[in-house]
Structure 1
């Protein structure tokens, strides 16, 4: 039986529906500011002990203490000027008991599942009609708001747009309410689903126009609110036509770091955020431009607020590639006087110091990272020359501003810019590592590799940063792998590998980028990693960060002899490594980089743990890729097949591989990164195709041989005929191999 009335929601406690919300009005325009509780620190603390770029805690630099105190006073003054003194209250009207009872019954019916899918839309639409004129009160009620979300998610486009148009004037208040923000986001998600049908495009566009016009009346209120910030970001994504839960809304830090350091896989590079519908580009530009039409006080508040910073970051990412819009918006965000600016210069001398101060604010530091990512080349170059040049080390020393320097390096446009940065920061690598700014060093190494600028110098400077002048280079890689342990050791001269320590994340990323350098520039690192003790290599491989370093070395352009030397250190341990989820990938990399005898050693080790390995998540794929069963049944055929693969691979690489990059690339423009990624993907596909062709060819040979043996068992008298036929088959087999290799080469050339 369906419960009705107040008993419909027994787990939801009713409350008094007459609530006074304290608000503040200030400024000439009468902006409303809702007081918030304790705010999140966004992962960076401006003072005291904080998490550095590599996860270590470092005390604040002493030279910045006076500056930080001045910035706190300045930030506090901005908030005081913005918030004002006048206060007023908005009284939310009481919801009548009949409406509460009706919506409770509707919620109970919908949750019971008694309503069919076709009727659900009609029921939700009728319920929304009953809420006409009470949208604000219902959406912000902590109980009924859940019912409103269900109704908005299940109604048709007409009732949904009717609801939003009716509450458009109160949409800002709904968005900044803790419960109302969820109702607003549910409505936007529902709109995104209905946009799949082009018949509703104009209806939804008119509805969103009303909402945007209401928001831009007092944008600072919503942008600086923790709930309103999330709603506006969803609205921006909806106007762009991307999913509301896309990376523009909230990107993973690990994904962003991987892209910055050129460590993203080919799959990640291709998986860009899809456009799910055509969006509303004009409405997006209108919303962003109107939100920034504020006075200087409001702009100053937006710059240092963490929630408005997230909104502006999303807006900039969505407008990436639209240079004219960005050339107008970015100077406004940085507080530049756009009216006095011309096309040749956007930043005046009087504004430079203020921007440098803002970069040391947590919220603006995040914002500056996105600005440097999407800024047109002319504007990026001006920011680099006027804001950062000649002060890179001082800015890198700051706990928050060093992240902006990392973005500046990662998104450098030319070899000259990377060269200027390396000239300034290269000799300071040792000091940066001591301060815990290894992220800056990693960005410089990656940018140097990406644009092929000063690679040899960066390699030498990094080596000098972790070893003394009279030390042998064999200590470089172990110290970078355990960078944290080495830097904080009291006796660095006698430091040795400490068992049980985790591999340092930034040290791992630095080495992964280094092993993409031409081999002529990283000879000390090759010597160091191949000189590591077997126990240390094994321990590093059991750590996911250390395994990535070994994989990067095996994929590098180091000599095959050096790679085999490192792989030989793991004899007898491949079965143990395969049982680890992270190291199992490295076992396959070792197999691909080995010759036939070493491959037999690897597969023999796996045979000892085949039963246990097949029960793991990664085991079946590894056993199939290495053809462990084939080795167990017919070792000789397996070895012959591996020799054929290596021969074809060698011929293929000799024919199609690119020459190793060296000094020539420093004199020429760097290759297109996307094109290079595509070439790497094609190489992998062709390698898989070679494996498939050779595997099918071997299987056909083995089946023919099996049939021949069965036939010979029946006919013992025709020895001469059998010998003749076998010789003919051998000739055919030889010709088939030639034809297969010729056809595969033709296919590879195409």
Structure 2
């Protein structure tokens, strides 16, 4: 087949094609059809999508294009022309091609080489089936590819009107099927990508919006501030489309909200929704109450939360998927709503929630996003005397968040450091043991006879213990002298082992950057013999 064939399409006789299709059309159902509607009792039954047999001539044509591209013998300008024509040839068969395991890979390649005009035409043509494509294992990759290709054209002012028109269509069809799409593992990811695209988040930097990452934890503990989600890094985006997508999504999902709150995939969509709305208090005050199960308007008393919902939120915060959602709610909530959540929902339940395997992460988020001393004082009243119990239950993250918040808000700093020291070192023991026991937090608190605990050479140092010590060394030196003495008096082999361990070395680095005296720092450096360490 010659080059001209690709440039101008197959030129297949339409009558022949219709006859061919008539003889070979079959009614296959995609896997999601049966599963999706059986799982959603709140959704009205809908007819399964009929999967037509892909015309063998189209299949052959697309595979020949794939072979041509593999040969690397096509110039860029010519490649764009070929890709545009190829997309045109899929007209009417977009769903079938996109969900075909083999052809979908070729279609992704074609999409990456197509111009805006052909991409938008393709999307407009398959808009009705786009949710089905998004929920298919192979089709979801095609959907992602086309959204990512469009995201690279957002700053092209000439292309924006056509882009916005096309994305408006896509947003409407995705929102109309929001319950099915959000609860599907593949559809959920595509929906989140669409949210980021509408916001203007560069899709190659969308990790923060998709899931809780290490940068979130670091931010909570004041170790670093992630810049990935700051508005300065956004592209232009489509704010009106974002508002439309979220509004229509919630309208269609309203009756299923209780199911969606605890569904693993829809919870991720809700989390992304909140993150792309961060800073837009007006929208958040509308969206968050709905996601928590309330109506979308304040009651007569001016409250955001309904009493019947408040009673359920502590219970829900112990559910795995909802706890992740509540973490993000607390992260982005405007101050008035945050304060109401604390007062009505979490106050007097903090220790109970901290004891729970999922709920403790909600408490960490609550502490980390508390912005004033009055609230942190109330939190300390509930948790301050329970630090040892939290360690014993394996909830060091709550302690770490509490310490970081005290340092950040300059509240109870000296008392905070004293409380922590007492949890790992009794009054009749030498403070020398403080740092080693925090470095090996799990080992120490799982030891039946703690007085008999000793440094286990080659043992695994604890991540959260390391983070707690890093937070401690940000306090003023007069508050942390026992920790300084413990570190500087560490036995040389132990100090050397700490330096060579990733978690231990961060603690050493935090100490060397602290307000400790130069004399103390020199003492540690001398003890671990840095030059000899590096030579090893």
**Structure 1 residues 414-447: Cα deviation after superposition (integer angstroms, max 9, x where no partner):** 1111111112111000000000000000010011
Q: Return the offset for 1:349.
A: 2.1
Secondary structure of 1:195's counterpart equals coil
* Equivalent of 1:257 in 217, 220, 226: 217
Distance 1:303 1:252 in 2: 17
Map of 1:537-576 to 2, 5 A cutoff? 537-571=495-529, 573-576=530-533
Supply the distance in 2 between the matched residues of 1:544 and 1:406 (Cα, whole angstroms). 24
State how far apart, in whole Å, the 2-side matches of 1:340 and 1:313 are: 22
Could you say if the C-alpha distance between residues 343 and 151 of structure 1 is closer, same or farther in structure 2, counting changes exceeding 3 Å?
farther
- In the TM superposition, 1:356-395 aligns within 5 A as 356-395=314-353
Residue 463 in 1 paired to residue 472 in 2? no
Normalised TM-score (structure 1):
0.66
Residue 477 (structure 1) aligned with residue 480 (structure 2): no
Other structure's SS at 2:357 match: coil
Summarize deviations over 1:461-498 as a string: whole Å, max 9, x none. Answer: 11111122322222111110111111111210122211
- Aligned with 2:251: secondary structure? coil
Query: Following TM superposition, by how much is the alpha carbon of 1:566 offset from its aligned partner in structure 2, in angstroms?
Result: 1.7
Counterpart selection for 1:205 from 161, 164, 174: 164
* Aligned equivalent of 2:155: 196
Which residue of the partner structure matches residue 327 of structure 1?
A: 285
Do 2:84 and 2:115's aligned partners in 1 also have CA atoms closer than 8 Å? yes
Q: Distance in 2 between matches of 1:97 and 1:428?
A: 69
Residue 576 of structure 1: how far off its partner (Å):
2.2
The Cα of 1:81 is off from its aligned counterpart by: 4.1
1:33 matches 2:42:
no
Matches within 5 A, 1:53-68: none
Q: Tell whether the 8 Å contact from 1:220 to 1:298 is kept in structure 2 after alignment.
A: yes
CA contact 1:152–1:160 (8 Å) conserved in 2: yes
Contact 1:153/1:187 (CA < 8 Å) preserved in 2?
A: yes
When the two chains are superposed, the root-mean-square deviation of aligned CA atoms in Å is: 2.5
**Partner residue in 1 for 2:17:** none
Indicate if the aligned counterparts of 1:23 and 1:88 stay in contact, CA closer than 8 A.
no
| TM-aligned CA distance change 1:578 to 1:382, over 3 Å | farther
Matched, 1:418 2:427: no
- Structure 1 residues 191-226: Cα deviation after superposition (integer angstroms, max 9, x where no partner): 112223210000000000001111111211101110
Q: Match for residue 409 of structure 1?
A: 367
- Which runs of no fewer than 5 residues in structure 1 stay unpaired? 6-14, 26-31, 36-78, 580-750
Say how many residue pairs are matched: 517
> Which residue of structure 2 lines up, in the alignment, with residue 530 of structure 1?
488
Shift of residue 578, structure 1, vs aligned partner? 6.0
Deviation at 1:133, TM superposition (A): 1.3
Match of 2:459, SS state, is coil
Deviations 1:573-592 (A, max 9, x none): 5232366xxxxxxxxxxxxx
Alignment of 1:471-510 (within 5 A): 471-510=429-468
Max Rg structure: 1
Q: In the alignment, is the contact (CA less than 8 A) between 1:160 and 1:187 conserved in 2?
A: yes
| Secondary structure in structure 1 of the residue aligned to 2:210 | coil
Q: CA deviation at 1:252?
A: 6.1
**C-alpha contact (below 8 Å) 2:209/2:275 kept by paired residues:** no
CA contact (8 A) 2:496 2:533 kept: no
Instruction: Please point out which of 94, 98, 112 is paired with 2:57.
Output: 98
Counterpart check, 1:126 vs 2:85: yes
- TM-score w.r.t. the length of structure 2 is 0.91
Whether contact under 8 Å (1:242, 1:274) holds in the other structure is: no
Once the two structures are superposed, the pairs formed by residues 8-19 of structure 1 within 5 Å of their partners are 19=28
**Displacement after TM superposition at 1:295 (Å):** 5.9
* CA separation of 1:548 and 1:148: change in aligned 2, threshold 3 A: same
1:237-289 deviation digits (Å, cap 9, x = unpaired): 11111111323443562211111101117xx5589576453110110011112
- 8 A contact 1:216–1:290 mirrored in 2: yes
Q: Distance in 2 between matches of 1:443 and 1:536?
A: 27
Structure 1 residues 75-474: aligned runs within 5 Å: 81-82=41-42, 89-245=48-204, 246-251=206-211, 253-264=213-224, 272=230, 275=233, 277-294=235-252, 297-339=255-297, 341=299, 344-474=302-432
Q: State the secondary structure of the residue aligned to 2:30.
A: strand
- Counterpart of 1:93 in 2: which secondary structure? coil
Question: CA shift at 1:33, angstroms?
Answer: 2.2
CA spacing shift, 1:401–1:526, aligned 2, 3 Å: same
Whether the 8 Å contact between 2:424 and 2:434 is mirrored in structure 1 is: yes
* Cα displacement (A) at 1:23: 5.5
Seen in structure 2, the aligned counterparts of structure 1 residues 578 and 247 have a Cα distance that, compared at 3 Å, is farther
Q: Report if the CA contact (8 A) 1:81-1:297 is conserved.
A: no
4+ runs deviating over 6 angstroms: 1-5
2:43 maps to 1:20: no
Task: Answer whether contact 2:42 2:256 (CA < 8 A) is retained.
Answer: yes
Task: Spell out, residue by residue over 1:314-362, the C-alpha distance to the aligned partner (whole angstroms, 9 max, x if none).
Answer: 1111111000000000000000133452583111222112111111111
Report if aligned partners of 1:24, 1:83 keep a CA contact under 8 Å in 2: no
Cα deviation for residue 34 of structure 1 reads 5.5
Greater Cα offset, 100-109 or 395-404:
100-109
Q: Deviations over 1:373-430 (max 9, x none)?
A: 1100000011111111111000011111111110001111111111111121110000
Q: 3-state SS of the aligned residue for 2:54? A: coil
Deviations 1:471-530 (A, max 9, x none): 222211111011111111121012221111122111110011011111221122122112
- Secondary structure of the 2:237 match is coil
**Alpha-carbon contact 2:25-2:52 (below 8 Å) kept:** no
Distance change (3 Å), C-alpha of 1:263 and 1:280: same
Change (3 A) 1:80 1:102: closer
Change (3 A) 1:509 1:2: farther
CA distance in 1, matches of 2:414, 2:342: 24
Report if the CA contact (8 A) 2:112-2:146 is conserved: yes
SS in 1 for 2:454: coil
What SS does the aligned partner of 1:216 have? helix
